[in-house]
Structure 1
């Protein structure tokens, strides 16, 4: 990448990968053209942010919350411009996000309070058709910095941290929760073999991939683990080429693109990675 970045949002749209924001409260947007194998600068975010959740639909890119609080920043690649969408129902800092059934699910996060630090269990759903937010069933375990991805009609929330967000008040989680929209219910999934927060999670070929993260405060992971819903089992795969947390990953075609993150524990300013890897399991 043109510069090292961690705790950013990433989404793919129209053959390009968008890396938005990043620690500490960046407005930058870096755009990777897959076919050209080149990077360019995109239009800057109206509001700088980190610990932001990013998702894309067929024609829009969404940057939700993070350091930008309840801001819902929407990018239209046709016009090349950002606009403000309907504000989030709550502050969503270090929330997990996944798109399923044409809707955007924003789950968990941190309460944005240094004096009374705690994770949250909230679950908000955005419908691009109606441009409205609604509430859905909350997580069983409040968590922040989890990963999320959707397979078929289910949203999987993987790992994360609780009860707080700082090294002194949090532990990494192995637990997995699975949401079914038809019943508006969460169920327990098979736990991660390696508890990790600040990890990246994607879905490819009907399976989940959990990459990197911080396994305990002070231990940065290069682990890659794959979950198969058919067998409800995790499998350890060859490790990433680098150790990273606060990294990003996105699926395009038959490949996972993995990038950035902190190489050092916690908010290790100066250890932000410029790496971009293409991974075909």
Structure 2
């Protein structure tokens, strides 16, 4: 395990002033790398472990579409990775979610006749203790690069990309959507809600209590978005929140810090502006305050990574060091929020 020094940490003085405590700072640790480095992943926390399903990798053979069918599991207690039951086939940009005693893998791209970017309608489930994934009822329509979360025991999918017409084999065959679907796992049934706040894909989401947050993303023309929206479970309405400090897509978000003063932090991503490149800055906001601030840098900027929250810490998993399917990384970094000895 390698600790990234405090030179990469900046002070979020507003939090310290509000609480009268030492200003928080970022602390990165590099943990054991993944067995198979992958990108374009949407992992999940399940049973206190980090779980990654499928993904793309520049290090896997082109003959198999650079696709992974592996289920990779990291146990923070032991610091070790293991492999679980393989997927029925490799896929990327699929949403993995934990609900009760099962994992659900939804949509994404699979190989098909004519290309490696066939948007899928499949819903797969892996029950605890099972050695095989089950196929469930299909999505209303094929959907990929969506944003997913669990709220009040149901799975939500918001926005993403879906085939514009009959063609469904290349990335350019798909367009952005604003759909918002809810899945009742007990009934194995989907229902449509009113569309989400924006037509976009490659956004990120998290849930805080009765609120779900939809953060960033991009639109088909390549422009990243600064928009942030919050969904209230009781009213079912989306409300615009303060925008990001900078536009972000192909990133991940999570809660950092203790329950008394958690931060929402957004990590990683890529941009098509100015010739394209990686986004290495970490931006955060206090859960109860509206302003986003840049707090520091990632030790290795990546896009298409997975970001998960567990026990007040963030885990940045995999991704790619360069735009596109280039230099896929097996890296696993952990981000903690620790008091600084410096007071504002």
1:38 equivalent in structure 2:
80
- How far apart are the structure 2 equivalents of 1:228 and 1:136? 29
1:119 equivalent in structure 2:
176
Contact 1:208 1:228 survives alignment (8 Å) = yes
Cα 1:37–1:203, aligned 2, differ >3 Å: closer, same or farther?
Answer: same
2:298 equivalent in structure 1:
240
1:103 aligns to 2:137 (yes or no): no
1:58 equivalent in structure 2:
100
Contact 1:137 1:186 survives alignment (8 Å) = no
Equivalent residue runs for 1:246-261 within 5 Å: 246-261=304-319
Tell me the secondary structure at the aligned position of residue 284 of structure 2.
strand
Tell me the secondary structure at the aligned position of residue 170 of structure 1.
coil
Larger mean Cα displacement after TM superposition, 235-244 or 129-138: 129-138
- How far apart are the structure 1 equivalents of 2:173 and 2:328? 28
Contact 1:250 1:257 survives alignment (8 Å) = yes
- How far apart are the structure 1 equivalents of 2:78 and 2:173? 47
How far 1:115 sits from its partner (Å)?
Answer: 5.3
Equivalent residue runs for 1:48-197 within 5 Å: 48-68=90-110, 69-113=120-164, 114=171, 117-162=174-219, 164=220, 169-197=221-249
1:209 equivalent in structure 2:
265
Equivalent residue runs for 1:17-36 within 5 Å: 17-23=50-56, 24-36=66-78
- How far apart are the structure 1 equivalents of 2:156 and 2:127? 20
Contact 1:9 1:63 survives alignment (8 Å) = no
- Corresponding residue to 2:328 among 243, 255, 272: 272
How far 1:215 sits from its partner (Å)?
Answer: 3.2
Contact 2:141 2:162 survives alignment (8 Å) = no
TM-score normalized by the length of structure 2? 0.75
How far 1:97 sits from its partner (Å)?
Answer: 0.8
- How far apart are the structure 2 equivalents of 1:38 and 1:263? 23
Note the aligned Cα RMSD (angstroms): 1.7
Cα 1:115–1:224, aligned 2, differ >3 Å: closer, same or farther?
Answer: closer
Tell me the secondary structure at the aligned position of residue 163 of structure 2.
coil
Highest relative contact order (Cα 8 Å, sep 6+), 1 or 2?
A: 2
Contact 1:223 1:239 survives alignment (8 Å) = yes
Cα 1:76–1:233, aligned 2, differ >3 Å: closer, same or farther?
Answer: same
- How far apart are the structure 2 equivalents of 1:220 and 1:15? 30
Larger mean Cα displacement after TM superposition, 200-209 or 249-258: 200-209
How far 1:117 sits from its partner (Å)?
Answer: 4.3
Instruction: Give CA deviations for 1:118-169 in whole Å, capped at 9, x if unaligned.
Output: 210001111223332111221221110100111111211111110x1xxxx3
Cα 1:92–1:117, aligned 2, differ >3 Å: closer, same or farther?
Answer: closer
TM-score normalized by the length of structure 1? 0.91
Structure with greater helix percent: 2
Any stretches of 5+ residues in structure 1 without a counterpart?
A: none
Larger mean Cα displacement after TM superposition, 129-138 or 46-55: 129-138
How far 1:13 sits from its partner (Å)?
Answer: 1.1
Tell me the secondary structure at the aligned position of residue 223 of structure 2.
strand
Any stretches of 5+ residues in structure 2 without a counterpart?
A: 1-33, 57-65, 111-119, 165-170, 338-344
Tell me the secondary structure at the aligned position of residue 55 of structure 2.
coil
How far 1:59 sits from its partner (Å)?
Answer: 1.1
Aligned pair count reads 274
- How far apart are the structure 1 equivalents of 2:162 and 2:278? 24
